[in-house]
Amino acid sequence: MKRFALLVGTFVALCAGTGVAIAADYPDHSIKWIVPYPPAGTTDVLARIMSQGLTERLGQTVIVENKPGAGNNIGTEAVVNAPPDGYTMLLVNPANGINASLYKNLPFNFMRDIAPVAGLVRTPNVMVITPSLPIKNVAEFIAYCKANPGKVNMASSGNGTSVHLSGELFKSMTGCNMVHVPYKGAGPALTDLMAGQVQVLFDNLPSSYPHIKSGKLRALAVTSVKSDPSLPDVPTVAATVPGYEATAWFGVGMPKGTPRAAIDRINAEVNKLLADPKMRARLAELGGTPIPGTPEDFGKVIAEETAKWAAVVKSSGATLD
């Protein structure tokens, strides 16, 4: 408990910035928002929705740049090494917390090197399967897995993502023997799932939602404690596997040392966007629940989630160098 309290306190302290001077008319040119995944996944969809609103509110273009690779780490490292001047942002996502314990030799320390700026949304993951499988619910899926050990391919958007760990949690709680097949983002994983090359994916809801609605994927369950309003007829995994819960969370980060004035400006505009009824409706369609608040509030979310998934990483035995 002392270690967790110290973790939270240390990380939240980074929100204060270094007091470096910043122009009163910040921002006075475009801002780069790095998404550490390819296009088409939840992080990309969310960043593009929010970037439109931020561009309007800030009066400067917020440019989304996809920098996938190494389970999210290439994009994150690019932001860590960027000048702390308020003009480079990171789309923070669950992999940032997970990778802290999954990878043993990262060239950066996320909790130390990225300053939390603002929370965006929480979304449930959704357990989706290729329609070619003769399965209608979670209980039937578990039975199918146990009848075909090692023959079910579980896709993910990359090693260490919430998509991967949601599947690992399911495996550990059900005894399902599935083969993990990591992809470089949700887009290619979804493509192969729809083609039947893999059988199941615990995807972030926003990226799978349109394919569920079109009938190209079958949703078996959502990973949140309660059913999601965007998929009211889809039950929870917990209804079949008591105690199961996994949600994805997203936000904005900047390099450590970014002036507090820049952090506060972005935080204020993000919170105003999250309070806008039209934006809330659009996010709700994607299964997203806004998580507004201060930079310190988002810092606590990151610290709590990092501690939670460290336990899952340990129990799964997953590790990467």
The CATH code of the domain that includes 6 is 3.40.190.150
Residue range(s) defining the domain that contains residue 113 = 2-123+248-316
Could you tell me if 213 and 90 are in contact, meaning their C-beta atoms sit under 8 angstroms apart?
A: no
Under the banding of pLDDT at 50, 70 and 90, the label for residue 321 is: low
> Is 321 within a domain?
no
- pLDDT (tens digit per residue) in 27-51: 999 999 999 988 887 889 899 999 9
From the list 96, 116, 38, the residue with the least C-alpha distance to 48 is 38
CATH of the domain at 198: 3.40.190.10
Are 119 and 254 part of one and the same domain? yes
> Is 220 within a domain?
yes
With a pLDDT cut of 90, the percent of the chain lying above it is 68
> Is 154 within a domain?
yes
**3-state DSSP of the chain:** CHHHHHHHHHHHHHHHCCCCCCCCCCCCCCEEEEECCCCCCHHHHHHHHHHHHHHHHHCCCEEEEECCCHHHHHHHHHHHCCCCCCCEEEEECHHHHHHHHHECCCCCCHHHHEEEEEEEEEEEEEEEECCCCCCCCHHHHHHHHHHCCCCEEEEECCCCCHHHHHHHHHHHHHCCCEEEEECCCHHHHHHHHHCCCCCEEEEEHHHHHHHHHCCCCEEEEECCCCCCCCCCCCCEHHHCCCCCCCEEEEEEEEECCCCHHHHHHHHHHHHHHHHCHHHHHHHHHCCCEECCCCHHHHHHHHHHHHHHHHHHHHHHCCCEC
pLDDT at 11: 52
From the list 124, 162, 116, the residue with the least C-alpha distance to 297 is 116
2 has pLDDT over 50: no
Sign of the torsion angle spanned by Cα atoms 158, 317, 237, 149: positive
With a pLDDT cut of 70, the percent of the chain lying above it is 93
220, 239, 258 — which closes off a domain? 239
303 has pLDDT over 70: yes
From the list 152, 230, 157, 239, the residue with the least C-alpha distance to 191 is 157
Under the banding of pLDDT at 50, 70 and 90, the label for residue 314 is: confident
Question: Model's pTM, two decimal places?
Answer: 0.79
Instruction: Compute the average pLDDT of residues 294-317.
Output: 90
pLDDT at 19: 47
| Domains contained in the chain, number | 2
- pLDDT (tens digit per residue) in 155-211: 998 877 889 889 999 999 999 999 999 998 889 999 999 999 999 999 988 889 999
- pLDDT (tens digit per residue) in 55-107: 999 999 999 999 998 888 999 999 999 999 999 999 999 889 999 988 988 99
Are 26 and 64 part of one and the same domain? yes
From the list 110, 203, 106, 116, the residue with the least C-alpha distance to 162 is 203
Are 88 and 157 part of one and the same domain? no
Instruction: Compute the average pLDDT of residues 19-23.
Output: 65
Q: How far apart are CA 292 and CA 298, in angstroms?
A: 8
> Is 276 within a domain?
yes
10 has pLDDT over 70: no
pLDDT at 230: 85
Are 188 and 107 part of one and the same domain? no
pLDDT at 16: 45
> Is 163 within a domain?
yes
Are 225 and 140 part of one and the same domain? yes
Under the banding of pLDDT at 50, 70 and 90, the label for residue 15 is: very low
pLDDT at 65: 98
Q: How far apart are CA 71 and CA 106, in angstroms?
A: 11
Average pLDDT, whole number, for the chain?
A: 90
